[in-house]
Structure formats: C-alpha cells, structure tokens
Amino acid sequence: MSNLGFEEITITNAKIHPFTDILKNARKQIELNLNIKKTKDSVYDSYRFPNSYKTFKSTLKNLAIHTITIFFSSKKGLRKVRQLILTNERKTDYYQNCLTTLLQEKPTMVFCTNQRISFAISPLLAAHDLKIPTATFIFSWDNLPKGTMVVETDYYFVWSKLMKEELLYYYPYINDNQIVIAGTPQFENHYDKNSIEAKASFFKQNNLDLDKKYLCFSGDDITTSPDDPSYLEDFVKAIILLNKKGNNLGIIFRRCPVDISSRYDVIISNYKDLIVEIAPKWENINNSWNTILPTKEDVILLSNTITYSELVVNLGSSMVFDYASHSKPCAYFNYNQKDRSNKNWDLHQCYKYVHFRSMPTDAVVWLNSPDEIASKIEMMLSDEAQKVVANAQEWFEKINQHPAEDASQRIWESISKICKKETC
C-alpha cells in the first residue's frame, strides 16, 4: 500500500487459532451439504477439493474436518461452527494485537477486500467488538455458491443485483439492508481512453509486429485448467493453418496472474515466432496465490492488450467481460484433451457451475474440438461476431452493475454513508 501513496500499518505476529482452519473448511463442507439439501442439486459437490492424506498431520486434519462436518451438518450446527470460529479467534494474541491497533488508530470503518481470507477474521471481529462498522467485498463472480464465506461483517459489497440475490439465498442470516450493490472496480479502466498508449509505442514495448493482427490466449490457473498448455498448442496450430491461407496473425499470451508455474514454457519456446508473452504486472508478495496482488500498471497493461488484440480465447474466464467492455468477442474451449493430466478433471463440469447459469445463449463462441478452432476464429474476425459481442454485453450487465466505470464512485459513496452512520 505504501507504494500507492497510502500509509501502511502492519500487524505483527498475525497467527490464527490452531483450529480456525479446520473449522473454516468444515464450515464450507457443511454449507455445501445444506445447499444440496436446499436445492436438490448435486453441482455443489463439484466445489469440493479432494482431501490429502499424504502426511500424518494432513490425515488428522482431514479426519477432524470430516467428523465436524458429519455432526454439524444442519442449520443449527452451522451456527455453532460459525460461533466457535469467533470464540477461538478471540482467544488469540492476534485478536488482542488487532484490538490494540484499532484502539490506537481509531479508524471510522474497517473494510476487507476479500471474504475468503482467514487472517481477516480477527481484525474484523476486533472492530465489531469495538463498535467500529465493518464491510467486506465479495471477491469474484463465482464465489457465493462455492461456500467461500469466511468473514462476517456489518455490510457486504457485491457486484450486481444477481449477486445480492445469491448472497441472501446462500446466507439467510444476512439482511437486505446490509448489502451494497456497487459493481467491481476491475473493469473500470477499460473505459478510460487516456490510459491507451499509441499503437506503435505499445507494440515496440512488447516486441509485437505492427504488420500482424494479434489474438489473445488468456491462461487459467492450474486448478481450473490443468491442461491449459495443451489448449494453447491447439490454438497455435489453428493460427498456423489460418496463416497458411494468407492471414498474418500472431498470439499474445497472457497467463493467469496467480499462475507462477513454468508449465507453458515448452510451448512458448517451440512457437516463439508466433507467441508473444505479455506477463501480468501483479505483485508477488509471498509466493502464494492469495498474496499475488494487482497493480495499477497491470490494469493499464490489460486495457492496452485488449485494445490491440482482436479477440480472446480461454476456458471459462471472466476475461469475456473485459473484452465485452471493448466490444470484442471471446471464445471458450469446450472439449477435453485426449491425454488429460488429471483423469478426475472434466472441462464440461466447469460450465455446469452455478455462475454460468446466468449466461445468455451464444454470449461466447464455443470451440468444441481442435478441428473447428480455425473456422470459428475466422468467424470471430468477421462482422458476424458482433452478435456474440452483444450477448456478452448483456451478460456483463447482468453480473456487474452498470455503468461499469462508476464502481469505485459507488463504493466510496457507500463507505461515506456507512461512516456517517447513514443507511446505504
């Protein structure tokens, strides 16, 4: 935060209670069980990660989670688990340090930007106990059905009316007047024309060829798409076919910002005449996915990347909305690789997730096999793609409050009301 011009106060010796992580994971399993019971829909089972029993410690931990889940899988049991998390956190030195810091600094409000982080429980709990208003932001468009709520606050900032409805549905202890529909700031910069560089300058900085048209391959994290390098290679082969037909196309590769693996290296090296990697400018604080943070520079970089590419392809990513902001189409891969690196993983399961149920018909182009990628890309480079773009923009307006460029303003106005003890 200090390099953004804000004073940063670090709470030292931040350590959650030994049982908090176990209870947090049990809470998720219980919520998913209750969601299945409530909806009669087995899709919620797909949000569970397989347990690890590789070490004695991990075995004990997972047995504890399993036992708590069995005995507390009810509305009453869930309330007890939620309360136990808070009771345990109040016993920690971390909670006491948070109390001391808040008493010293006297903030008007405590705002948490991610509802999933266990380390946020104690600061928010301490603020609550000191009668300081608290709020959290629902981090991503797919989070609520997955049982990812860890913190509990006075206010919840959501992307859209749809997300508000989800929040009330999955967390009935939250009241309507606690929810603020604000949108998300992550798309705002796409509407700032002053951040777009001259084409010649952008191409020179990123080693792009001014004579080529570029298509973007947007990478996923390794959990969402373990075979992502194979999809990149399929895409490359399709572009080679199109170039043989007289096109002059190149590929911009933008990896998922939290993917710090080397799994794409061989493909990029083998096709270095075709692929140019433009790496996200996120800040890696602690070599962990949840401590890799976006920067203002990357927001600008992404807007320029979209401006100077024709379309994007990926597997189920929200990049569809980034490109829709620029009236450009997105394609989703819709087939499994023949040689899957993880036999338990199925691409088709990804599109059954709850957040895809908000998608209008034909909001993306579906790449149903490697053989049809080239022809679908040709279509996306034609005027016909505007039908897809219009549907994607309709979807975007459903999942994110519009005008999208005013999200930060709506957030600040709501924070101001909370600080003044006005109703949001």
pLDDT value at 1 more than 60: no
User: In angstroms, rounded to a whole number, what is the distance separating the alpha carbons of residues 103 and 107?
Assistant: 8
The Cα angle at residue 241 between residues 240 and 245, in degrees rounded to 5: 110
Pair 37, 98 in one domain: no
Domain-terminating residue out of 26, 56, 91: 91
Boundary residue ending a domain (64, 91, 118): 91
Assess if residue 9 is contained within a domain.
no
Report the CATH number at residue 147: 3.40.50.2000
Q: Token pair of 172, please?
A: 């009935």
Residue 387 lies in a domain: yes
- Chain-centre distance for alpha carbon 354: 14
Residue 423 clears pLDDT 70, i.e. is over it: no
Q: Residue 77 in 3-state DSSP?
A: helix
Q: Are residues 108 and 30 in the same domain?
A: no
Asked if 143 and 171 sit in the same domain, the reply is: yes
pLDDT tens-digit map of 108-157: 999 999 999 999 999 999 999 999 999 999 999 999 999 999 999 999 99
CA 359 to each of CA 45, 142, 355, 399, 409: distance values in angstroms, whole numbers, following the listed order: 21, 13, 8, 9, 27
Q: What band does 13 get if pLDDT is binned at 50, 70 and 90?
A: confident
Half-sphere exposure of 124 (CA within 13 A, CB side): 25
Residues in the chain: 424
407, 392: one domain: no
Classify the phi-psi angles of 129: left when phi > 0, otherwise alpha if psi is within -120 to 50, otherwise beta: alpha
State whether 179 and 193 are in the same domain. no
302, 392: one domain: yes
What's the pLDDT at 292?
Answer: 67
Any domain includes 3: no
| Mean pLDDT of the 299-309 span | 97
How confident is the model over 30-43, as pLDDT tens digits?
999 999 999 999 99
Residue 82 falls inside a structural domain? yes
For the stretch 223-260, pLDDT in tens is: 889 999 999 999 999 999 999 999 999 999 999 988 88
Q: Which amino acid, 298?
A: D
Assess if residue 417 is contained within a domain.
yes
> CA 293, CA 257: separation in Å to the nearest integer?
8
Let me know whether 217 and 259 are in one domain. Answer: yes
Are 375 and 233 contained in the same domain? Answer: yes
Contacts with 325 (C-beta within 8 Å, 6 or more apart), sequence order: 187, 190, 191, 306, 396, 404
Same domain, 216 and 355: yes
Average pLDDT over residues 10-21: 90
Domain that holds residue 111: 92-184+403-424
Does residue 1 lie in a domain region? no
* CA 316/CA 228 separation, integer angstroms: 12
* CA 93 vs CA 82, 291, 322: distances in Å: 20, 23, 42
Structural domains of the chain, count: 3
Which of the pair, 397 or 286, is modelled with greater confidence? Answer: 397
- Decide: 159 and 144 in contact? Cβ < 8 Å: no
* Strand segments (E) across 9-109: none
Please tell me which residue, 408 or 422, carries the higher pLDDT value. Answer: 408
Asked if residue 2 belongs to a domain, the reply is: no
Residue 317 lies in a domain: yes
Do 199 and 245 belong together in one domain?
Answer: yes
User: Could you count the other beta carbons within 10 Å of the beta carbon of residue 159?
Assistant: 26
Same domain as 313, residue 228 = yes
Question: Which of 59, 91, 123 marks a domain boundary?
Answer: 91
Check whether 290 has a pLDDT greater than 60: no
Do residues 121 and 98 share a domain? yes
